[in-house]
Amino acid sequence: MIRETFKMAVGWVDDRLGLSATLGPMLRHLVPHDARWWYVFGSATLCAFMIQVVSGVALAFAYSPSATDAYPTLQFITHDAPFGNFLRGLHYFGASAMVLMVGLHMAQVFLFGSYKFPREMNWMTGVLLLGFVLLMGFTGQLLRWDQTAVWSVVVAAEQAGRIPLIGEWVARFTLGGQTLGGATLNRFFAIHVFIVPALTFAFIGLHLLLVLRHGVAEPPKVGEPVDPRTYRANYQALLKKSGRPFWPDAAWRDVVFCVGMIAAVALLALVFGPPELGKPPDPSIIEANPRPDWYLLWYFAVLALLPHGTEKVFMVFGPLTVGLLLILLPFLAPSGERSPLRRPWAVVGILLTVTVIGALWVVGRKSPWSPNFSPEPLTAKIVGATSGPVFVGAQLFQEKSCIDCHLVEGIGGRRGPDLTYIADNLKRSDMIIRIVNGGVNMPSYGATLKPGELENLVAFLETRTKH
């Protein structure tokens, strides 16, 4: 009796909503029979996105995006709220999983040549989705609202400010004003929880519709190049001959992988927990060691390693070129062989990308901060002299690039310690030792300074006291 009623109720809902009529054919659409484990990364990305949506909404219940409340509410989430620490961990490792899966998915599609005719738009929407994922990572970091988070964004804004023509505007838009503050946080929050997720949902929808429209690309075979005139007919014939319904013949792998990934993310969240919150942001403290999360770290390393003067060009043309190349890839190679065995350059490209990003990542972990390669000059007021050893020393401080790594009253770079009040902490003899010998991340100047230059430099540094 109860079973009968239940069945009727389910049947009624299904009929009125037309669920199985619409979703059924989608789920049972035919896929090539040999599309196996290689094909799970796309659905895994979607799965990671779902982790992010669920954990993100849960975090938003308690998080307050205001400059005064963000830090305390995060402390509350981390230490007091039930499962709060676990949730933050989920969201953190979920983000990593998503970046990783997007990367694997892209690499697989690229290696298999699946971006070729007729799936060009699948690839292009995918590249946009990659951009959204990175944007989510970048904006999400600031919401942590601790020293590291804040300084990472300051660096990024500083970099953006150097883009010719539109740099000022980009920096001001990013920060929501001239400096980083409450307005920046509100802005990043809106981007992180409304704009980009909405765009992501929309483009995932489109991406999936395109997958249904063109079908899942069959694994490539050597000697079977894509010919736009015959491809579609061949593909249909292949499906007719040996295709399998997506559900359940192929989908079980996606389900297994997705469940495994969720378990791994949950385990990491339990064992390692979220990244620790640093000190609350304080623009006057620069002892922080700002490093963006791992998937953005390599890019900071690029900026840190670029030779003097090329940064500006790179900032604009680097990402633009890579983005354009990626988007246009299907038009650069729309047909022909798909098998990686016949496309050695594709394999080399993937290996090279992985190696370069890996190497940059290692460098990025070591270099906490990029020297500031185009610091403003010290003003006469800061120097406090217009001639004599102190003045000459201040000139040298700039000529010898000390200022690239050291701040003096807010001007300069942040790779080394702030030297604004160095004379209060360091004896004359210790200054000389440091300059001559260098230190961790500081070059030694003993061999490059002419006689007298060292004296002048020290004379300048000796004026740097609070009194």
Enumerate binding residues for ligand HEC (CB under 6 A).
371, 400-402, 404-406, 415-417, 422, 425-426, 431, 434-435, 439-443, 445, 457, 461
Name, in order, each residue with C-beta under 8 angstroms of 237's C-beta and a sequence gap of 6 or more.
none
Question: Which of 125, 148 has the CB closer to ligand HEC?
Answer: 148
Output the smallest distance, CB 386 to ligand HEC, in A.
Answer: 20
Output the smallest distance, CB 414 to ligand HEC, in A.
Answer: 10
> Which DSSP state fits 336?
B
Question: Which of 71, 460 has the CB closer to ligand HEC?
Answer: 460
- Quick one: tokens of 458? 């020290």
Question: Which of 337, 404 has the CB closer to ligand HEC?
Answer: 404
Output the smallest distance, CB 421 to ligand HEC, in A.
Answer: 10
Long-range CB pairs of 62-69, under 8 A, 24+ apart, other chains included: 63/143, 65/143, 65/185, 65/186, 65/188, 65/189, 66/182, 66/185, 66/186, 67/145, 67/181, 67/182, 67/185, 68/182
DSSP, collapsed to helix, strand or coil, labels residue 30 as: strand
CB contact at 8 A, 240 and 55: no
What is the CB neighbour count within 10 angstroms for residue 265?
Answer: 24
Question: Which of 358, 438 has the CB closer to ligand HEC?
Answer: 438
Q: Give 221-238 as a DSSP string.
A: -TT--B-TTTHHHHHHHH
Name, in order, each residue with C-beta under 8 angstroms of 108's C-beta and a sequence gap of 6 or more.
38, 39, 41, 114
Output the smallest distance, CB 364 to ligand HEC, in A.
Answer: 16
Question: Which of 62, 306 has the CB closer to ligand HEC?
Answer: 306
Output the smallest distance, CB 440 to ligand HEC, in A.
Answer: 4
Output the smallest distance, CB 371 to ligand HEC, in A.
Answer: 5
Q: Give 40-106 as a DSSP string.
A: GHHHHHHHHHHHHHHHHHHHHHH---STTTHHHHHHHHHHTSTTHHHHHHHHHHHHHHHHHHHHHHH
Question: Which of 63, 369 has the CB closer to ligand HEC?
Answer: 369
β-strand partners of 439: 442
Output the smallest distance, CB 387 to ligand HEC, in A.
Answer: 20
Question: Which of 92, 300 has the CB closer to ligand HEC?
Answer: 300
